[in-house]
Amino acid sequence: MLPSSPATHVLHVVGARPNFMKVAPVVRALEKRAGVEQTLVHTGQHYDANMSDVFFRQLEIPAPDVNLAVGAGSHASQTAEIMTRFEPVVLERKPDLVLVYGDVNSTVAAALVCAKLSVLVGHVEAGLRSFDRSMPEEINRLVTDQLADLLFTPSEDGDLNLQREGVPPEKIHRVGNVMIDSLVRLLPEASRCSANGFPESYALVTLHRPSNVDDGEALQKLLRSLLEISRQLPLVFPVHPRTRRRITEFGLQSGQLHLLDPLPYVEFLALQRNARVVITDSGGIQEETTYLGVPCLTLRDNTERPVTVSMGTNILVGQDENKLCREISKILNGQAKRGTIPPLWDGHAGERIADVLTASTR
């Protein structure tokens, strides 16, 4: 089903921190369109009051109209709880269209509810594929894209993946990368952040994926590699709560690693911008480093964002200690991979989404 008239009430669903960076440009663009009502629903899938509040403030997102306060849980229980709590909101608010973002459990849960209620769904960041179904996010992406009525892709590979899966071309809209919209807007503020307390040259590390942190042996191996790298280049490591718990549970030593608490978006962006290299297993950071031109070494064997490898600064190193160390040596010797910014990653993706939502498609 495709919309036959402009959406006058758009309901946004966010569930985790990466969603905040994606929703902000769309909310801002729709605010400028006459006659559009917006509702923001925070499922509370990942919720830290301090971090959520500062993210909303920095990104200038209005306070959520509804917070489902779902909290943590297994994939099944969390998805089911979001569906149970979200359905009454849709029935009460009666949106013309619901926008879901990214690939978290909130994304697929909201899409399922809307599909069963015959409410139009748009998926922002559609078409990304790792082709690895052991990743829960891949399942969320596949299901959401089959249910969505409007699919907003960040790059050409997303279009091709959807077409190969039988999605009608008229549903697909390549708009660019909404995360880059937030980055472009806040980069001047990040450039003014103080560097006091940080080394002049450093590697920035993030680590949170279950495949890397939930297995004690795998995590110990990664920490050993990072400690080895720290002898050549200081490491700055804002630690995800999940990772910090695992380090403690497994009794692992973090030694000379510069461990920090999680950071607000602007402060983290400043660290990325000034890093010699970023070592990560995050999807969004692969995109941000590509835009910033900062070398990125991804601790995964695959990525749903292959454009960051084919065009950008990203290199997949998996859990291969030798490859990680080799790539670090290249960077320190001035042989870092150079990339280009993909088309439409220009800070205007939110406006393109608003154009589609406020125009008749028939």
**Pick from 345, 333, 203, 186: which is nearest to 274 by CA?**
203
Distance CA(180)–CA(308), nearest Å, equals 13
**Pick from 35, 100, 34, 23: which is nearest to 63 by CA?**
23
Residue 187 near residue 268, CB atoms below 8 Å: no
Angle between helices 17-31 and 349-357 (to 10 degrees): 60
Distance CA(285)–CA(273), nearest Å, equals 11
Determine the residue type at 226: L
Q: How far, in whole angstroms, is CA 201 from its chain's centroid? A: 26
Q: In sequence order, which residues have a C-beta less than 8 Å from that of residue 29 and are 6 or more positions away?
A: 350, 351, 353, 354
What strands lie across the sheet with 258-260, from one edge to the other? 258-260, 235-238, 203-205, 277-280, 296-298, 314-316
Here the tokens at position 183 are: 């980055």
DSSP state of 170: G
Round to the nearest angstrom and report the end-to-end CA distance of the chain: 12
Containing H/E element for 64? none
The count of C-alpha atoms lying within 13 angstroms of the C-alpha of 361, restricted to the half-sphere facing its C-beta, is 17
3-state secondary structure of 283: helix
Rounded to 5 degrees, what are φ and ψ at 137? -65, -35
Q: Which residue has the tokens 């489902």?
A: 68
Residue 29 near residue 1, CB atoms below 8 Å: no
Catalytic annotation, residues: 208
